Structure formats: structure tokens, C-alpha cells
Amino acid sequence: MNKWYKEDLAFIHNDGFRDFALKSAPGILEIFAQNKIHDGLVVDLGCGSGLWAQELIKADYHVLGVDISESMINIARTRVPDAEFRIDSLFKTDIPLCNAVTSISECISYLFDADSDRHLVQLFWRIYNALTAGGVFIFDIAEKGQVAPGTTTKGFTEGEGWIVLVEKSEDREQKTLTRRITSFRKIGEHYRRSDEVHQVRLYEATTIASELCDIGFQVETTRSYGQYVLPKGHVAFIARKPGS
């Protein structure tokens, strides 16, 4: 479980990449309210460092957060002691009866331990069966077209005591985006380097919506969570289980 988002990258992500979770939170809470979900358990798959979990606890929900990264979970447990966190694969973890399931910032797209679309459909079924009647499943995915064919993009982000370099390339045939990530974090007087390679499955929104509908969800797609517009090449889904 320590292969991805190891200690330094987890620290950097928590310190410098908070916007997606925090700016998405008000819009997702509004979706809950629109669906009359004002309390109860929310299962957050790919919970990261617990930023969204913290907002849920503030809004008086119960939270179970699941993430494959031990380092991310360690941060989350410190940040949100009132929530429950589990180090596990979101594709394999047991999902208890709940009022809502979330998976934000393209967590479902990551190919950390799932290598086929079949795993995604199986997850959709497990979420549907775990949700109470009228419950909602809210998530977003990455789409094709992130990087121009045959090209590689490079960029960097820096913060206090760290810098992260990211090289991205896209394989249109395999429908994957590869991110090669090199991070440097200051430890004492020196900087420590760590390297990770992340692969993301690039989906088509119409395919995902069709799969959700086939299971029984009522599906809506959106390019924003409330006032927060998603980054280019991302689409969100609001999948509601009928019955309430």
C-alpha cells in the first residue's frame, strides 16, 4: 500500500494541492441537501489527507474515508480524529450501508490496483447495493484529450520547503494518462528526492453514464461542483439510487 503517494508526495499534495477538495465541498454539500441527505454516513473513496472528510464532519455527517496511501491516511487521521479512516483499495474495500458515497479529484480513474473497466463496473454495483434508497454517489473522472497526441507536457509547482515536477503523456489507444512525478522535500538542511509514476484511465462520459444507468442509477453529469468549475478534461457524475 506504500507504492503511491508515499510520505513526501503525500505531504506535498496536502500542503499545496488543496483547492480541488475545499472548493468542491460547498457544491457537494448542496447536492446532498437537494437530495434531502442531511446526516448519516458518507463513505469517501480516495479520501487523501482528509480535507473533504473534515468538511463533512463540520456539517455533522459521519465519515468513513478509504485510501490506498498509508501516508495520506496518517495525515487524515491527525486532521479529522472524529472520522474513521481505512488503508485499503477503493476497488476492494467493504462499503457499509450509507447515505452517500463520494470519490472526488478523479480517484476512480487511477490505475493503482485496477487494470480493467470491469473493476469499475463491479465497484458501481457495490456502491449501488450499499446506498440507502435515495442515496447519492458523487464522483468525477478524467477524460481523453488531456495531452496532445505524440507530445509530453512538463511543469512544476513549488511551496515552502518543496518542489514537485510532473511530466505527462497520453496513450490514446490504451486510453491512459501517465504522470511521472519527481518531488523534492526539504528535510533538515537537505532536499530529499522521491519518484512516482501514476497512470490514470481516461474515460468517456457517455460510457460511464450508460453503465450507471444500466445498474439502476438516475444519472446527471456536470462540469462543476456548485460554483467550482472542474479543471479542463474532467466531468462529474451525480448518480442517485431511486426509492425515496
Residue by residue, pLDDT tens for the chain (244 residues) are: 468 999 999 999 999 999 999 999 999 999 999 999 999 999 999 999 999 999 999 999 999 999 999 999 999 999 999 999 999 999 999 999 999 999 999 999 998 876 667 789 999 999 999 999 999 999 999 998 888 888 999 999 999 999 999 999 999 888 999 999 999 999 999 999 999 999 999 999 999 999 999 999 999 999 999 999 999 899 999 999 998 6
For cell 480541488, the residue is 20
Q: Which domains does the chain have, with CATH numbers?
A: 7-144+202-240 (3.40.50.150), 152-200 (2.20.25.110)
Q: How far apart are CA 63 and CA 54, in angstroms?
A: 9
User: Exposed e or buried b for every residue in 39-60, given b needs 16+ CB within 10 A?
Assistant: eebbbbbbbbbbbbbbbbbebe
Q: How far apart are CA 70 and CA 1, in angstroms?
A: 7
User: Exposed e or buried b for every residue in 90-122, given b needs 16+ CB within 10 A?
Assistant: bbebebeebbbbbbbbbbbbbebebeeeebbee
How do strand 62-67 and strand 41-45 relate by DSSP bridges? parallel
The pLDDT value given to residue 2: 65
Q: How far apart are CA 192 and CA 184, in angstroms?
A: 5
Among residues 181, 190, 179, 184, the alpha carbon closest in space to that of 163 is found at: 184
The pLDDT value given to residue 115: 62
The pLDDT value given to residue 114: 66
The model's pTM is 0.95
